[in-house]
Structure 1
Amino acid sequence: MPSVRSASLAARAGTATRALAFWAAVALPVPALGLIAVGADLWVVFALLACNAVALVVGHDYRSRPRPNRDH
């Protein structure tokens, strides 16, 4: 049976992974546009956009602050 501490550690690791993926999904289009502007090989741009898509999927559920309780 996993301890409460290891469950808490796993939850924090999952939150950190989602946060990193969310912010990567926000930032990755910028270098992709730069690569297109300088005429980089298309496979490099597509690889970066594929990483962006993965980051979107992993980070889609990230919230920097908890939602307020709306059960009045």
Structure 2
Amino acid sequence: MIQKEVHATCIEYLQQADQTSTAPESQPQPYRTVTRIRRLYEILQTELLSPITSLAYITAVDSGEKH
């Protein structure tokens, strides 16, 4: 994968349960999708409907992203 351009990944994300949060709307999010392309992040933000997946955008050094 070193020679491939990876634009997004989805991994199993095991986070510690917050013992102080008892709000019913705070569901665990066992999956995390990370993208390095801003436009892809914007699209996923509006289209990702799964409540069990969190979404993050990171800027990669020398990503080659040009706009």
TM-score class, shorter-chain normalisation, is 0.3 to 0.5
Q: Which has the higher contact order (CA 8 A, sep 6+)?
A: 1
Q: Given the two structures, how large is their TM-score scaled by the length of structure 1?
A: 0.31
Q: Which has the higher strand share?
A: 2
Q: Which has the higher helix share?
A: 1
